[in-house]
Amino acid sequence: MHASLPARPRALGLLAIAGLLLLQTACASLEGPDYGTYDRAPGFNRASFELSETLDNKVFEPVARGYLDLVPGPVEAGVVNFFANLRTVDSSINGFLQGKAKRGGTDMMRLLLNSTVGIAGLFDVATPAGFAAQNEDFGQTLAVWGWRNSRYVYVPLVGPSTIRDLPSMAIRAFTPRLLIGSGYPLWATGIDLVAARADALALTDTRDAAALDPYAFTREAYYQRREFQIFDGNPPLDDFDDFFDDTDAE
């Protein structure tokens, strides 16, 4: 019988291999503007979206609404803060990887303050102290390193992403487990998922009320949000300039 690797190194190794394989796909250039929408498999993505929406409507959304009804607001906020604090480690590392020392350092201060004064991250004392969450991730790091365009993929039961952002999704999903180790209970993962879905209810409610095509709305909103994050809230205005130039030419 072969000796198996410990779970944490094995998971990290698989993530690293997946990241290298995905990086290779970046070599294939995509036509069009940087950070543009590239949905090259709409049939698969729409089917994945519809399946996910069906299960969400029947299971996850009702559970999330019940969670909000049963759990007091301060407790629900504490749960969100706790998991967000753990993921601050990922954000800080990626801030430094992008060459943004100030943003990486800000997240380090957030982690220090919220983990101590904020009682293991249950309370966000860092934001009022002037250390706002930077929300960096590995997908943004890859974009800063040059991977500007990436194909859209709707991951079943997970949500919208791109090929470039898939490693980041995996890293952030496993961050609490990787940091806490074998002492991290399975039920904590369930609470993390339910709290995240509850936190997104307002967004999906707005989408469902306003969008004629929820799939297309979700896809476009994802690309716009990612561009906004990659440029730290200041995306280029070239697309708007082009739009007005075209309008004037008519």
At 33-52, the pLDDT tens digits run: 889 999 999 999 999 999 99
Strands 152-155 and 159-162, by their bridges, are antiparallel
Tell me: pLDDT of 159 over 60.
yes
CB 208 within 8 A of CB 78: no
Tell me what the pLDDT averaged over the chain comes to: 87
Residue 172 tokens read as 């952030």
Q: How confident is the model at residue 228 (pLDDT cuts 50, 70, 90)?
A: very high
Residue 1 tokens read as 């019988």
**What totals of helices (H) and strands (E) does the chain contain, helices first?**
11, 2
As a whole number, mean pLDDT of residues 214-219 equals 97
Between helix 214-230 and helix 42-55 the angle, nearest 10°, is 100
Q: How confident is the model at residue 29 (pLDDT cuts 50, 70, 90)?
A: low
Tell me: pLDDT of 229 over 70.
yes
As a whole number, mean pLDDT of residues 202-215 equals 94
- Torsions phi, psi for 136 (to 5 deg): -90, 155
At 115-154, the pLDDT tens digits run: 999 999 999 999 999 999 999 999 999 999 999 999 999 9
Q: How confident is the model at residue 183 (pLDDT cuts 50, 70, 90)?
A: confident
pTM for the model: 0.82
Q: What is the pLDDT of residue 182?
A: 83
Percent pLDDT > 90 in the chain is 76
Percent pLDDT > 70 in the chain is 83
